Amino acid sequence: MINSAGWEVHRRWMVAGVVPLTRPGTTVTSGPSTDEPRLHGVQPAELREHPAVADRARRFQVEHGFDPLAPAELNLLRTRNNHWLRKFLRPGWIAGLLLAVAPFPLIIGLQEESAIAVNIGAAMAVLGVVAVGFAWRIRLARKSEIGAHLDVLREFKDLYRTSR
């Protein structure tokens, strides 16, 4: 009955008591790690048919040596983005936690004139800044590897939406 209505059961996302349905040909993704490189509802085939986007894609291919809308390149982009996200999350969380908590022992130590608490707060702040440095370097490496591809996809979406 589901198939005759034009739907299909998506077995990859089966949950007890829930039957996930999709239209045939739908791409199902989840999680923030796959969000950035996606085209947010615009299919690569639609973009290829748009004259301004197709022209910009040709220029990008000449500059960088690959088609930014090719399925293999989009999958590689998602894979590399996930790789950089996994590398970024640990120092990013550590930096956020240390820098958010560091003022408390500093303030308490200054109010109660406790050198130990001040030293602990200062050490936490220094370690937080070091973690920010690691996270920043990871973001720079990500940008140097896949930044041009991400930028051109944003440009494609803007071109597509503004000139329809």
The pLDDT > 70 percentage for the chain reads: 84
Write b or e for each residue in 85-102: b if 16 or more Cβ atoms lie within 10 A of its Cβ, otherwise e. bebbeebbebbeebbeeb
pLDDT in tens, 9-26: 766 655 666 777 777 766
Whether residue 31 has pLDDT greater than 50: no
Residue 86's pLDDT is 94
Residue 143's pLDDT is 96
Average pLDDT, the chain: 85
Whether residue 43 has pLDDT greater than 80: no
Whether residue 104 has pLDDT greater than 60: yes
Residue 1's pLDDT is 77
Residue 47's pLDDT is 83
Between CA 92 and CA 137 the distance in angstroms is 11
